Amino acid sequence: MNASLQNKLPTLQANISNLSIKNALALLADFFPCQVTFSTSFSYEDQIITHEIVNNNLPIKIFTLDTGRLFSETYSVWSRTNEFYNTKIEAYYPDAIALQELVSQRGPNSFYESIENRKECCHIRKVVPLKNALKGNTIWVTGLRAEHSPARQDLQILEWDEGNQLIKYNPLLHWNTAETIQFVHQNNIPYNSLHDKGFVSIGCAPCTRAIKAGEDFRAGRWWWEDANKKECGLHEKQA
């Protein structure tokens, strides 16, 4: 356990509490040079954070997880984002041998058969690559919002991530959906075209569908499962 780093949380929280996202990111990057990284899935939220990082020339690394099962529209917005901001967003991939064994033993769509199978797939395709991406970093910037799911209601803007032994910064945590979308359109930020087709939370293609009127934000993710279990393991709290 990194007690020294954990002990810095209250001071960091106080330092960024009244700052804009841009200034908070700049302060964290100054406190922890070359140790601040941002994970993007090219969602509305993540595109806003990319916009803030690149437009303000902040020394923060940007990466994404390519699971191998993403929508073609996600790859398209990834390309448009690199072109628009003149960036080269780094990709992390699943271990080829682990993935080959999973598909060989359980089949390509085993995640539909049980929660255990689905979490195993998420672990190989997302959780392990994420841990590789976070190595050597002190701050992990995310696009999490409290509206995303019941499990995210008690998150803090700055919090300790026990599983990854670093500090997680959630700058858009208290933004609502309307202001998130408004910011994207007002600033002409590239976004995933699936958002215009009823897709709200976008993950892997086999595990994501558009939501229907009145459905919860996360209803389109792993829709065959219990609503309380809709996390892939990237942001699950660990004791």
Q: Which of 121, 122, 204, 232 is catalytic?
A: 232
Check if 232 is active-site.
Answer: yes
Report the alpha-carbon distance of residue 97 to residue 208 in Å, rounded: 25
Task: Please report the DSSP string for the chain in residue order.
Answer: --HHHHHTHHHHHHHHTTS-HHHHHHHHHHHSTT-EEEE----HHHHHHHHHHHHTT---EEEEE--S-B-HHHHHHHHHHHHHHT---EEE---HHHHHHHHHHH-TTGGGT-HHHHHHHHIIIIIHHHHHHHTT-SEEE----GGG-GGGTT--SEEEETTTTEEEE-TTTT--HHHHHHHHHHTT----GGGGGT--S--BGGGB-PPPTT--TTTTBSTTS-GGG---SSS----
CB neighbourhood size of 212 (10 A): 9
Residues acting as catalytic residues: 232
